[in-house]
Amino acid sequence: MNVLTVDLGNSRAKLRAWDRGTRAPIAAADFASVRGVGEEIGAWLDAAPSFEAVALCSVADTGIEEEIARALRIRRPAARLERAPDPGLRIACREPAAVGRDRLFAARAALDLVRGDAIVVGAGTALTVDAVRSDATFLGGAIAPGPALLARALAQGTARLPRIEPAPNPEALGRDTASALLAGVGIGFRGAAKELAERVSKESGLERAPIVLTGGSRGFLLDPPAFVGRPLRVEPDLVHLGLLSALEPEMARWMSSSRS
């Protein structure tokens, strides 16, 4: 049996098809998270492998989410669609319902990967640093801007600073405005990630926990390595793996009900 996971973020809509038995990926596609993406995804679905179930996680505009859900219903009407299944975590936050679903699915996958406590660092449009305990308790964390968002804020919030395209491992000593911006964004992002990981680890009592890193901007934290002296696991598809784990109980119930 094949399943499809959809990680709809603020910048990218990522689709992964999996063999449920082996958890091996069998197809993948990435699209920009913009209005009209439903048509692109629909065209991809026409040629994609068959699948029986879909798990969707969205932190993007609700209109884009509806486009994708509609494309799935039209192109694959027989597939069961589960929008944000239960991640199977106890959420020790003041407002559990307000916690981003992508953070929860990433935390769920981190638990599965390291089989214990974890600090989860998501380097994407936003930087998230979260603590999850081995008893499946999500303790909370921190949210900061990612590199592209930092660069955009500097360009939009000032009169004369240009928009730059951030890149990993810039020189700190910028000798013109563009290189100074590259330094401030790239090295500043690394500094924020390192400090937040250290502080979140200390305040959660998980100083020895491995760091699990994901997200499209993870290269900023790998070249050179930002986290030294503790175990590091890099998993680009962390949210997808969390969706797979969360979907398992739902599929077991569906199969049980279909047999009865």
The residues assigned a catalytic role are 102
Q: For residue 132, how many C-alpha atoms fall within 13 Å in the half-sphere facing its CB?
A: 31
Measured on CA atoms in the order 132, 138, 141, 144, is the torsion positive or negative?
positive
Task: Judge whether 221 and 169 are in contact, CB under 8 Å.
Answer: no
Query: Measured on CA atoms in the order 213, 127, 150, 203, is the torsion positive or negative?
Result: negative
DSSP state of 171: -
d(C-alpha 103, C-alpha 126), whole Å: 11
Q: What are the φ/ψ torsions at residue 57 (nearest 5 degrees)?
A: -120, 125
* Alpha helix positions (H), the chain: 37-47, 62-75, 101-114, 147-156, 177-204, 238-259
Tell me which residue of 110, 109, 82, 125 sits closest to 247, measured CA to CA. Answer: 82
All residues at 6 or more sequence positions from 8 whose CB lies less than 8 Å from its CB, including other chains: 14, 33, 56, 57, 58, 59, 60, 64, 65, 68
| Residue 137: strand pairing partners | 90, 133
DSSP state of 68: H
Q: Which residues does 60 contact at the CB level (< 8 Å), separation at least 6? A: 8, 9, 10, 13, 33
